[in-house]
Structure formats: structure tokens, C-alpha cells
Structure 1
Amino acid sequence: MDIRVQGGGPTGPFLSARDVFETEYDLEKEVCVQVRPDPDERTWTAHYDDHHLLNISTAAATSAMARELVLHEYSHMHRNEQEHPSHTQSTTEAICLAFSGRTVEQRTLTHCYQIANHMKDIYADDITLTVTPSNKLVSFLESSLASAIVNRPSTAPNTWRQLTATADPEITAVNAAFALALCERHDLVGEDHQLYDLAHAAAKDAPNVRLDAFKSQFRTLTTDPDETEYRKALVDITRRYALNTTWAAD
């Protein structure tokens, strides 16, 4: 793996993450890292014909979770190179299909894109969790969910990914379902873990969101879906969230 860091930030986390990642996986394309001075800069990855681009803030790159964050982003890059449907399927196309002929509020639409990102994160973390311990991820999920439940911005550093943009009860409940699904998918926590109590608290605040149903959909995502299967899963989960019309048939 070729890593090129620009912007005057530290190189250690990116090289360390590369060494860990290469124990099981590899990337064919060069990784170009842009370290941004803005502490509020969101970490995001773009993919091009000859390289991957990782944008990250200096605050994230120097945090205690920097290596874990970078490993997570390398996993997204690997999924892209695999042409995994979760990383090649157009989210906009699927969401337009889900809501064809219907009107959806902008707030709800934003939440649907966040749900789609959760699905991508499930597949990225299927890779990440094979090369790194889970303790930091579990701690992040727990602290982020707790912060959302008490209706204040997350105090966790912006170094993994944004679990919740606001303290909106409905999307917080779905975020809780995602957190539990990821933990159960990889047997990360026991049934008595605090995360379950937090998730149940989130569910009480959003009675129209079925926590267990969303958890099941995230947890049971097929490892190697084809494009049609993945698009159907994405359409189904976003439609269920936005329209809340299919639960009675389950």
C-alpha cells in the first residue's frame, strides 16, 4: 500500500494503520491523505481511477482513536476496490426508487442518507474488526448514544464516524439499532452491556421506530449481496423509516 500524507499532519497513524491492515488485506490504489487544520472537518473518503482520497482534520489525526479511524477508512477503500454493491450502488438512486411518487421531508431524507451510511459502515467494519480490537469502537458507540439520549452534542471526539447528527429521537433509535447490530454481528458485547440499556432508552423516546426490526435488518445484511439484493435492502430499510408503512406485515 502506498500512502502519501499532505497538509503537514502526522504520518504515524496512517502508516501504523497500513501495517495493521496489510496483515490481512491490501489496496491496489495509492492513498492520498489531506490533513485539514479545521477541527470540525468531517472525515470522508473519495475514490478515483488511480487513487483514494482521505480528508481528515488534524484533531482527528492526532486523537487517541486515529489509527482505528484510519483502519475504518481503509476498509471502505477496500470495499470500493472490491466493487462491493454497498460502495458502488448509488444511494440517491435507491432512495429515489424508495420514495417514487411520494413527498418526504428534508429532515427525514437526511436521516435516510445516514441510514445508508450505516449500511456501508456495517460492511466496512466487517473488515476493520478482523484486524483490530473492538474496545475503542464499542466505547465510541456507547458514549455517542448516551450523549444523543440526553439531548446534547456528542462529547466523543470526531474520530470514528458521526453516529448521530442531532438528538432527534427517531434517528437516534435507528442509530441505537445500528450499534447493537454491529456488536451482535461480531459478538462484541454481552447481553448485560450498558449499550442495551441505552438502546432501550432510545427506543422509548421513539415509539414509532421498531428497534428490534431495524437491528435485525442491519445485523443480517448478507455478506456478499449482488447489486439487486443490496438495492432491495437499502430501499426497504429507508422506506420503512420514512414511510412507516410495512411493519404491520412483519
Structure 2
Amino acid sequence: MTDYVTYEQDGPIVTLTLNAPEKRNAISTFDDCDDVVAAVHRINRDRSVRAVILTGAGTAFCAGGDLKAMRDRKGILEGSHADVRENYRRGVQAMANALYDCDAPTIAAVNGPAIGLGLDVACMCDIRIASEKASFAESFVKVGIVPGDGGAWLLPRVVGMSVAAEMSFTGDLLSPQEAKEVRLVSRVVPHEELMAAAGALAARIAANPPEMVRMTKKLLREGQHTRLSTLLEMSAAFQALAHTTEDHKEAVNAMLEKRKPTFTGR
């Protein structure tokens, strides 16, 4: 373990910060990936967490892979073809699976460039909001590689196949406003307001019954690749559970009594 990811909790909201500003938060080692995985596992074990914000330290969100490590074939890129393939599975892809499957809702607060792997890390989150200083590129072709982190699966589900293909085949850089136009991000805010905006959104999410929010996230994820009939069965099972919870009773009673509800996660 290293300190690539800092973990800060304020009530029900956790902020994860990619904390290697000297390399623009690039990801190049197993430790970098392991830190993200460990942070997500910690969140999944802590049912008090109701929302997660992911951002970057310094001027970048995440510059993607480390170009010096690519040049020198270090870290995840060290070894034979077979070694590198397995290294991707153990490192970057393990991180992708963990972050995408995080139980709690995740918000990427994109404070600066999100390039290559960095863009895909943002796409692993449920929601993306951008600072006016952000930029975005699916730039793997620019350095002679392919999206090895699941980007070819993630990006089309965020922006659609045509835009994803254009971004992936050209590697072109998108401004924050262009990212909003193609629905890569939900909104663009002044740079100095980014974390406040992310925090306010996280608080609105955290105000709802936490287990229902988590189950809703699972349904949204499952709905991206399953048949309607399968999703309906899963929804019926989740709904049956929801109707027996104390939070459901509290929500209904609060509405009928015209008061603010208090949710406990039970």
C-alpha cells in the first residue's frame, strides 16, 4: 500500500483523492491500482457511506498511464507479452472492476485533464461533473496502444457509440463544454466551485434511504447489459425487500406527515 489515494470521510460522504500531483496522478504501478481497490473495499464494508466523490490532487484529475513507465517498460508494463497481459488483469483491470462495482454512488469531480486511463476512470463513476479547467481525451491511439482498462466498454455506454468511436479513433481533446454537449459530464462549474458542487450533489444523494440508493445503482448497472425480463425479475426481488424496510416506512410516514424523514439504513 502507498498513499496514492487519500481517504477522507465527512459524515456519510467519502472523498477519494488521487494524490500524486508530481506525475499528474498518472497510474503506473500495482500499488496505485491496489490503493484504489483497497479504498473501494473499505467503502463497501462501511454501510455508513452513502456517497463518494473522486477527484485529483493538483492541476490534473488523472493524466492516464505514466509515459516514462511506458518508455522504460516498468511497473505494470514489465515483462513478456504474457506478463503484461496478466499485469493488466491484476492491476488496471482489477481497479476498473472495483471502482465500477463500488456499492455506493460515485461522483467524479474532474478538476483538470482526464486523459486516456484518466478519462476511463471518470467513466467508471456514476456521475461526472467538470471544472472549467478540465479536459478529456480517449487518447490511447496517440501513444500507440489500445484501451486496456475497459474504456471500449465504458465510453460507448456514457456517450453512445458514434461519439465514443470518434473520440477513440482520433484521440482528440474535448473541452469541458464539448464534454457536456456529448453528455460525458452532467455539468460544468467554475473551477473554484467544483468541490462544493460535488459535495452538494453527494449530500442530496446521501439524504435518501442508503440501501435503496445502493439497490437502485445495482439495477442501473444491470440494466446496461441484460434483458428487460431479467431486470424486471431483479427489480421485483429488490422491491419486495424495500417494502419491508424501516426506511420505506419512514419515507411514507414523513410524506404523509409533511416532515423531513430520518433514514437509518434499516
Q: Normalising by the residue count of structure 2, what TM-score does the alignment of the two structures yield?
A: 0.29
Q: Which has the larger radius of gyration?
A: 2
Whose strand fraction is larger, Structure 1's or Structure 2's? Answer: 2
Q: Normalising by the residue count of structure 1, what TM-score does the alignment of the two structures yield?
A: 0.30
Instruction: Indicate the structure whose relative CO is greater, using CA pairs within 8 Å and at least 6 residues apart.
Output: 1
